[in-house]
């Protein structure tokens, strides 16, 4: 969600920080800010609501002097409205702070601090940490002023909830950072002249060849004047070894839309090639070793937790594993998993799906499983993320960076990873899997060649009042995903339902302004037809995505999008899904929304 970039070194901090924040724009945000030192060593803030370009304009107008140190932030509002004043950094003449996360006990801390005479200026919970930090810098428990690191540790120990903090002070060129349940990464240039801290390793690409991920409660100290430029300490001040390091494997190749108007459309079109590379990686390449590691697992059952599109992918995985292996898979929304008091056994395995590997609710679900002695497996896109580091086994989806906030290619590859996982668990021939995935890639290319027709249908229906996506069996998760895509980027009411559930309530919504997008495969064909007739009888607008050459389906609907289902039947839902991705994209385009960065959404949800 919030993006953080801190820098100290020999370059102009403005340029480094703005470059890093621009790489994190895909995460979603509503304001941006930066703190620098002026030529007299004073801390100066610049903050602006809206896109990063608004902040950049302010900096061009103000033309601050070159500063070797600074911290920057893109805010996704949780406490307090979207205003310049609530934007980060928060600070005073001595200290400035940026924050990602939620301070769950902020109200209690604020009440206590106000009773002690401290005042607050913003509506944010983040300012509570600033005031605590200022208090301890002024007077520690023994009555004497504390150093930045000491005050930082004491203030952090009082905070409840998942948060990451980065701070800089007027009195030195040090930057300090700490986290609990929210991402922080740091690194230095090869010659050690430039030091960095960020909320995402992507912000550091091209600046450092190795990145460091401190564990929760480890202070990260950037000190350009010290013999060792980056230090890691426990909250008690002792050196810490609780740090994971990783080489930066990704190249800094600026992502461009190319011939596409939006990253989302580009990422939809990338799917065939990504599937082919994915299939080769796991059947003939290095990925085969990852699959070998999980083939002998024999759990009583799997507890699968995920959020959003990843949860929909989990429903697909459940279908694969239960059909291929006869092993129960309990699928939970990660935000609900802990609160239903799940019955966990060390004979079970926790299975987690996440694009970023930093989703707060998913990490909390994993933590609960680990506390009960379960082994854990992640299906994940970002190597080195928190979920990746804490899992016993990892299967990378190999989607590359996904810029569009609404997931497209990552969802497809999560489902395919689940399919391969299930096939390997069942000791099935992965050569056949490879063939099926290649057929799927070819099938998606055929779907993409239909984009003009899909765009025509989108134009006919985009102004309708609501949309019901329906599917049976393995098409039900795709109905959920299709509805989510439309909600995310077109800002219209859309719901996904199992087709058989229409008569149990949703059919009350059907009239001449309600669209039913029916996802139909060869399976359960007759029963699905009866659901279509029920909608037609109530004058609903029927869009059918179904098998090509079916005259009956063509007769029953107003708009027909035929697909070639001659490939692998278990992967056919992914063909249908690409149609729903394109439908959502074109409807959002006609509505004129911000498709790549839809309002109120964040790519990486790092708060609960």
Mean pLDDT score across all residues of the chain: 92
Distance CA 256, CA 331 (A): 36
Half-sphere exposure of 433 (CA within 13 A, CB side): 26
Work out the percent of the chain whose per-residue pLDDT is above 90. 70
**Tokens read off for 88:** 């980060």
Give all domains of the chain, ordered by start, each with its CATH number: 3-247 (3.60.20.10), 279-438 (3.40.50.10490), 450-598 (3.40.50.10490)
pLDDT of residue 295: 87
Strands 185-188 and 195-198: antiparallel
Degrees (nearest 5) of the Cα angle 107, 130, 160? 45
pLDDT bucket at 473, cuts 50 / 70 / 90:
very high
pTM here is 0.88
Give the dihedral sign, CA 120/124/130/132: positive
pLDDT of residue 227: 82
Mean pLDDT: which of 171-175, 303-307, 509-513 is highest? 303-307
pLDDT bucket at 408, cuts 50 / 70 / 90:
very high
Distance CA 19, CA 39 (A): 22
Q: Are 89 and 33 in contact (CB under 8 A)?
A: yes
Q: What is the pLDDT of residues 124-139, one digit of tens each?
A: 999 999 999 999 999 8
pLDDT of residue 370: 97
pLDDT of residue 131: 95
Concerning whether 557 is annotated as a catalytic residue, the answer is no
Q: Are 582 and 575 in contact (CB under 8 A)?
A: no
pLDDT bucket at 112, cuts 50 / 70 / 90:
very high
Phi, psi torsion values for 239, nearest 5 degrees: -60, 145
| Residue in 2, 220, 316, 557 annotated catalytic | 2
pLDDT of residue 251: 56
Q: Are 408 and 486 in contact (CB under 8 A)?
A: no
**Tokens read off for 161:** 């909830």
pLDDT of residue 1: 64
Q: What is the pLDDT of residues 45-92, one digit of tens each?
A: 999 998 899 999 999 998 888 899 999 999 877 888 888 889 999 999
pLDDT of residue 79: 81
pLDDT of residue 141: 86
Helices 287-294 and 271-283: crossing angle in degrees, nearest 10, is: 60
| Pick from 149-153, 227-231, 365-369: least confident | 227-231
Q: What is the pLDDT of residues 516-530, one digit of tens each?
A: 999 998 887 777 787
Q: What is the pLDDT of residues 531-577, one digit of tens each?
A: 888 888 888 899 999 999 999 898 999 999 999 998 778 899 999 99
Give the dihedral sign, CA 263/415/352/205: negative
Q: Are 75 and 24 in contact (CB under 8 A)?
A: no
**Tokens read off for 35:** 């703190």
Local structure of residue 572 (DSSP, 8 states):
H
pLDDT bucket at 250, cuts 50 / 70 / 90:
low
pLDDT of residue 608: 61
| Residue in 110, 233, 487, 603 annotated catalytic | 603
Q: What is the pLDDT of residues 172-197, one digit of tens each?
A: 999 999 999 888 999 999 888 899 99
Q: Are 515 and 541 in contact (CB under 8 A)?
A: yes
pLDDT of residue 518: 95
Q: Which residue carries 């697992």 as its tokens?
A: 297
- Least Cα distance to 33 among 119, 126, 109 occurs for 126
- Least Cα distance to 384 among 371, 394, 398 occurs for 394
Phi, psi torsion values for 73, nearest 5 degrees: -155, 140
pLDDT of residue 230: 94
pLDDT of residue 70: 96
Residues 308-322 have a mean pLDDT of 97
- Least Cα distance to 95 among 192, 172, 163, 202 occurs for 172
Residues 277-284 have a mean pLDDT of 94
Q: What is the DSSP string of 449-508?
A: TTHHHHHHHHHHHTTSSEEEEEE-GGGHHHHHHHHHHHHHHH---EEEEEGGGGGGTGGG
pLDDT of residue 117: 93
Concerning whether 603 is annotated as a catalytic residue, the answer is yes
Residues 8-20 have a mean pLDDT of 94
pLDDT of residue 353: 98
Residues 420-427 have a mean pLDDT of 95
Three-state SS for 234? strand
- Is pLDDT above 80 for 23? yes
Distance CA 425, CA 421 (A): 6
Q: What is the pLDDT of residues 565-584, one digit of tens each?
A: 987 788 999 999 999 999 99
* Cis check: omega of the bond before 89, within 30 degrees of 0: yes
- Which residues does 464 contact at the CB level (< 8 Å), separation at least 6? 513, 514, 515, 541
pLDDT of residue 297: 93
């Amino acid at each position: 969600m919030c993006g953080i970039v801190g820098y100290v070194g020999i370059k102009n901090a403005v340029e480094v920080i703005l470059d890093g924040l621009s790489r994190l724009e895909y995460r979603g945000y509503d304001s941006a800010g930066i703190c620098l030192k002026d030529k007299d060593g004073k801390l100066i803030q610049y903050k602006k609501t809206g896109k990063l370009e608004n902040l950049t304009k302010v900096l061009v107008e103000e033309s601050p002097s070159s500063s070797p140190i600074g911290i920057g932030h893109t805010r996704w509002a949780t406490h307090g409205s979207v205003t310049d004043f609530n934007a980060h950094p928060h600070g005073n003449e001595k200290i400035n702070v940026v924050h990602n996360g939620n301070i769950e006990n902020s109200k209690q801390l604020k009440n206590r601090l106000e009773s002690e005479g401290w005042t607050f200026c913003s509506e944010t919970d983040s300012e509570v940490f600033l005031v605590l930090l200022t208090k301890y810098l002024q007077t520690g428990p023994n009555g004497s002023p504390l150093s930045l690191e000491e005050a930082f540790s004491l203030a952090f120990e009082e905070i409840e909830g998942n948060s990451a903090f980065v701070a800089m002070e007027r009195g030195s060129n040090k930057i300090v950072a700490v986290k609990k349940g929210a991402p922080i990464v740091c690194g230095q240039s090869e010659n050690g002249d430039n030091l960095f801290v960020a909320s995402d390793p992507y912000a550091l690409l091209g600046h450092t060849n190795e990145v460091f991920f401190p564990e929760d409660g480890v202070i990260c100290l950037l000190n350009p004047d010290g013999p060792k430029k980056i230090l890691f300490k426990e909250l008690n001040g002792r050196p810490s070894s609780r740090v994971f390091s990783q080489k930066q494997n990704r190249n800094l190749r600026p992502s461009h839309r190319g011939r596409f108007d939006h990253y989302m459309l580009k990422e939809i079109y990338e799917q065939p090639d990504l599937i082919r590379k994915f299939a080769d990686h796991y059947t003939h390449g290095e990925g085969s070793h990852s699959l070998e590691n999980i083939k002998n697992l024999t759990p009583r059952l799997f507890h699968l937790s995920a959020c959003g599109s990843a949860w929909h992918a989990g429903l697909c995985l459940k279908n694969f594993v239960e059909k291929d292996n006869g092993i129960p898979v309990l699928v939970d929304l990660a935000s609900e998993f802990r609160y239903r008091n799940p019955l966990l056994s060390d004979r079970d395995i926790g299975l987690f799906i996440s694009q970023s590997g930093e989703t707060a609710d998913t990490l909390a679900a994993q933590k609960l499983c680990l506390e009960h002695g379960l082994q854990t497996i992640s299906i994940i896109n970002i190597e080195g993320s928190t979920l990746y580091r804490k899992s016993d086994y990892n299967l990378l989806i190999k989607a590359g960076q996904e810029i569009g906030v609404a997931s497209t290619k990552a969802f497809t590859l999560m489902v395919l990873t689940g399919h391969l996982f299930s096939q390997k668990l069942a000791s099935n021939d992965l050569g056949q899997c490879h063939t099926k995935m290649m057929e799927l890639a070819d099938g998606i290319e055929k779907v993409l060649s239909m984009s003009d027709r899909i765009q025509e249908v989108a134009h006919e229906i985009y102004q309708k009042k609501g949309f019901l996506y329906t599917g049976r069996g393995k098409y039900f998760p795709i109905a959920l995903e299709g509805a989510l895509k439309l909600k995310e980027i077109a800002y219209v009411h859309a719901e996904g339902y199992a087709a058989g559930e229409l008569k149990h309530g949703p059919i009350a919504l059907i009239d001449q302004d309600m669209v039913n997008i029916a996802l139909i495969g060869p399976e359960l064909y007759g029963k699905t037809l009866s659901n279509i007739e029920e909608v037609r009888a109530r004058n609903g607008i029927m869009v059918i995505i179904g098998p090509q050459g079916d005259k009956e389906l063509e007769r029953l609907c107003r708009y027909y999008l035929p697909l070639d289902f001659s490939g692998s039947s278990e992967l056919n839902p992914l063909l249908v899904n690409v149609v729903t991705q394109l439908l959502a994209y074109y409807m959002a385009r006609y509505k004129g929304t911000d498709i790549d960065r839809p309002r109120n959404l964040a790519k990486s949800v790092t708060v609960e």
